[in-house]
Amino acid sequence: MTAQILARNLRLPTLFLLAGVALFAALSLYANWGAFMQWCLSVQITLHRYLVMYLLQLNNHQYAASLWLLTGAFIYGILHAIDPGHGKFIVTTWLSTHQESLTATRLVPFSAA
């Protein structure tokens, strides 16, 4: 019984703490957006060079590079999707071809960002 009371009493402070952390993270990202995008692009360039190197190793029958190639390609795809342009085009296309409510047209771009 006391565990239930304790859990009930901790819900609101935990919610405020999580909201505060999320707000801090959002404000930090907003304040440093240019540096974040620059970091994403530099990591993307570095990963691209590694992917080329691993592809050349596979071409020379060095199959140990295949796991690194798959991992690098996955991370490269995530960073490539963060770059400006792709998300806007996909969201605009989806919203223009589907009949959605006003709430959905606001939530979809926000969640895509």
Q: Which residues of the chain have pLDDT under 50?
A: 1
pLDDT digits (tens, 9 = 90+) for 91-104: 777 777 777 776 77
pLDDT of residue 64: 79
pLDDT of residue 61: 84
pLDDT of residue 113: 57
pLDDT of residue 7: 59
What's the number of CA atoms in the CB half-sphere (13 Å) around residue 19? Answer: 6
User: CA of 113: how far to CAs of 18, 90, 98, in Å?
Assistant: 20, 11, 19
pLDDT of residue 94: 72
Report field, pTM of the whole predicted structure over 0.75: no
Q: By three-state DSSP, how is residue 60 classified?
A: coil
The whole-angstrom distance between residue 93's C-alpha and the CA centroid of its chain comes to 20
**Domain positions in the chain:** 1-31, 33-112
